Structure formats: C-alpha cells, structure tokens
Structure 1
C-alpha cells in the first residue's frame, strides 16, 4: 500500500468516525428527555450503536496514523476545525420532530452507503459496514415510523415536522459531495461513491415524506463545509461538552 493510499484511508476512516461520534452524541442528548420510557431506552441504544461505530473507525485511523494516538485522541483531543463530519449531523437536537427528521435523513443515507462500503477492498472498513448494516435496519424502521406518526398526526405535530424538513433540507446536499480523497479511494475500490446515491436517497425520503403528508422542499439552498473543517457554531459547543472530562483529566483511563 502506498503512503498516498494509506493516508487517504486514514482520512476517510476519520471522517466516518467523526460522522458517527457527532450523531451519536446528538442522539444521546435525548436520553431522559424522551416522550416516554421506551423512547429513552431506544435513544440510548441508538446512540451507543453510533458511538460503537466511531470507536471502530477511530481505532483504525489511529492504527494507520501510527503516531501514538488512540481512539480517545481522535474523539477528544481535536477541535472543531479538525473535525470532518457532515454538517447535518451536528445540528442541535431541536424538538422531537426535528431530531426524528434528521435521523430519517441519516438512516436512509446509511441504508444506501453501508451495503456499498461492505464491498470495499479494505477488509476493516467492510467489517465495520457488516456490523452497522444490521443496526441501521432497526434505526430506519424507527425513524420512518416516527416521521409518519408525526407528519400525519395532529396539526401541531405536522407543523413541526414540516418545519424540521424545511430547516434541514439544505444540509442534505453535502451528503453526496465527493472530493479528491474520496475519489482516489473510489478508484481503488475502497470508498463509496456517494455521488451516485442521491437519486435513490431522494426517492426513499420523498416516498416517506409523502406518506407522512409532508411537502418535499425545493432545492433552493445548500450549505457545505463539514468535510473541509468549516462548521456551524453548534459543533464547537457540542465538543466543549463532550470533551470536558477527558481534557480535564488527561491520560486517565476508564
């Protein structure tokens, strides 16, 4: 393996880890705030699924970097400009409808991405995908059911769901962007060409939103920057909370 390919895989694994840990933390913010006990338990389980993925991706990135860092260093010792997660995933939890719509967008995305990653020539990335695919089937069933329930529910729940879709739609375009690093790995049969997945994502999401009596927005605006380290102010606040214990007690192990 050339140094160029090795460095690209390390960057790719880090990005996937960033996506997972950021969304996992956002989901965890609902624990003890869910509408009923079963949802509290569900939120905790889904959050742990994403944190588990992040650990696997970060551990692999640390192995490739081979510079003394471990998974905790990747999660806790980088600032917001060093994170490479998608912007959609760092948005604050908002109300219940907002979180469920964001989760639906992410779950449909991973439903399409993970089977492709399973075909990667990189055995470690393919192995993470194999584990995550099983989890994502449950995640999508849950988020789909909630969006249908909220969208086709009361006047208030419908209004909040439509508002969430409108507010988050512009962040979904970034899900399908490709840069030189990812294109290099696609050419090597390692990464997923997400640019080819937008039509399938749009159809799946549109079908669910239509069933939920929610209007699919027009593509009138788009925000990008997460993959290059340009984030919203929300990520900095989130990382401050997420990293405080580790940074306050450097070197400690639990």
Structure 2
C-alpha cells in the first residue's frame, strides 16, 4: 500500500510506535538507574571513555546540522535534523556521566555560573581536549559523502552500543540500550541513501563513489584501541573497538556492493591520535561554530 508520507512509512516499519525517529520521546533513559560507579571501576578511565563516545556524537551532530536548509528534500532535512538530535541526546548523557565522575574538573567561573557539566564539557573545552575521531570531525562534503560517512559512523557506533548494553557501568548500559534503537534507524537511513545514490544516475553513482573514497581513509583509527579502552574492556565496562571490525566491515561491504559501488581498500590501522586529543584544523572550525555563542555569553540562559 502506498504510504502518504515518509513519516507514515517509518512509523509502520517500526511497529506503529507513533514516532518516526527514536530520539524524539521525552522519557528519561536513566530513570531508575543507579548512577553510582561500581566498585573496581577507575573513575578517571570511565570519564575519558565517556568523553570519547560523547565527543563523537556531539561533533557528528554538529556536522549534520550543516545540512539544515541545504538538504535535497524537505523531508530529508527533517530526517537529518532528527538524527542530529538523537546524537546530541547521546552526547548530553555521556558528557553528563563524564562530568559526574569529575573528568577535567570545573573552573570557578563555570561553577559560579551554574553551568551543567555536559554544557561545560561541550562548550568550554579546547580542541586538544576533545577525544573524537577523524571520521566525525572531517568536513561533510557533498550529500553523497555525508551519507557514506553517516553509514560508516552509525555502523561502528551501533556495533559498540550493542555490546555496551552489557557494561558493568549501569549508566553506560542504559545509554547504550536506548542508543541501539536510534542508531539502527541512523544506519538504515544512511544505507537506503547510499543504495539510492549508488544505483541511481551516473552522476549520483560517481559522487557516492567519491564519497566512499574520501571516507574510507578516515577509518584508519576507529578500530585501534587506546589504553583506556583496553583497561575498561578488561573490566567489562567498555568495548575494544577492534572486536567490532569484522561486523562493521561486513556491513559496509554489503551496502556498497548492493549499491553497485566499488569498496575502497581498507586502510592500515593507525594510532588513535584523535582519541588522544590530536586534531587538525577541521575540528577547530566546527568547534568555533558550536561554542561561539556560549563562550561569548557564558552565563546566558534561554
């Protein structure tokens, strides 16, 4: 049966839950969750790990908002905005968890202004204090590259969150349980666009292939664990990203082949420089847009 709008189609596809993007509800995903850090978990490591996951979501969310008023279709603009909001919600929860265990501390000025931990970490850190990967901080490029990057990022994040549902940290487990539903939609939405572009016109296929060729080198760091990730994985708190490699590569290969696109060569593993705070000018630019208003008016409320 023909669906009248994309909203009807997505609602039916997900069981008629009354919402077409999973992150639009107002339920508190941490309601009833014990936020006490379990014994034996290093709080400093936990805080840094939450920054890694939170920064990836925050920066990718900001990149996606660059498409607002510029997407190829009005309904796609709404879809991208909702995906960005999902990621922003994940970032907020993860940065709040990082703040709750004391990561990076708080300046007197921020404390005096009663700025929440997640806002302080989002708006008042410098680029070298961010722990995101090159995959999310790179410029968006055209729509084809944006969808390929979203496919890669959501496939990786979904594989991580599926495993994090069993984390010994109850907060991480709760965030992951909610995030799995959101990320499943993100991945499927991006995959549909890659299929549509790759198996479309000559121009759309060329631009989708150019997007894949540009995104694949950005995967060099994503499967390389940091010492923090290895320690927390050994304690059943975090996930060693290397354990997701086979799954993620299989998903990306399958989608590109179905889209009649050439799968680029997989890059050799590189040290996780982004996770350790080493970034290029692209992150500086996106953070300037993200943080500008808050830094100019740190005590502002609305």
With the length of structure 1 as denominator, give the TM-score of the two structures: 0.96
Q: How far did residue 37 of structure 1 move? A: 0.8
Q: How far did residue 253 of structure 1 move? A: 2.6
Judge conservation of contact 1:13–1:60 (CA < 8 Å) in 2. yes
Residues 70-90 of structure 1 deviation map (CA, whole Å, 9 limit, x = unaligned): 111100001111111011101
1:123 and 2:170 matched: yes
Q: How far did residue 2 of structure 1 move? A: 7.0
Residue 247 of structure 1 is matched in structure 2 by: 295
Residues 25-69 of structure 1 deviation map (CA, whole Å, 9 limit, x = unaligned): 001111111111101110110000000000000111111007446
Q: How far did residue 151 of structure 1 move? A: 0.6
1:23 and 2:60 matched: yes
Residues 96-146 of structure 1 deviation map (CA, whole Å, 9 limit, x = unaligned): 001000000012112211110111000000010011111111111110000
Judge conservation of contact 2:99–2:118 (CA < 8 Å) in 1. yes
Aligned mate of 2:286, from 230, 235, 238 = 238
Q: Which has the larger radius of gyration?
A: 2
Residue 60 of structure 1 is matched in structure 2 by: 97
Judge conservation of contact 1:171–1:222 (CA < 8 Å) in 2. no
SS state of the match for residue 65, structure 1? coil
Q: How far did residue 228 of structure 1 move? A: 1.2
SS state of the match for residue 135, structure 1? helix
Q: How far did residue 22 of structure 1 move? A: 0.2
Judge conservation of contact 2:41–2:235 (CA < 8 Å) in 1. no
CA distance in 2: counterparts of 1:94 and 1:21, whole angstroms: 18
Judge conservation of contact 1:87–1:171 (CA < 8 Å) in 2. yes
> Tell me, which stretches of 5 or more residues in structure 1 are unaligned?
none
CA distance in 1: counterparts of 2:269 and 2:70, whole angstroms: 31
Residues 202-239 of structure 1 deviation map (CA, whole Å, 9 limit, x = unaligned): 11110110011111111356665211111121110110
Compare 222-231 and 205-214 and name the one that shifted more.
Answer: 222-231
Judge conservation of contact 1:170–1:222 (CA < 8 Å) in 2. no
> Tell me, which stretches of 5 or more residues in structure 2 are unaligned?
1-37, 112-116
With the length of structure 2 as denominator, give the TM-score of the two structures: 0.81
Q: How far did residue 4 of structure 1 move? A: 7.3
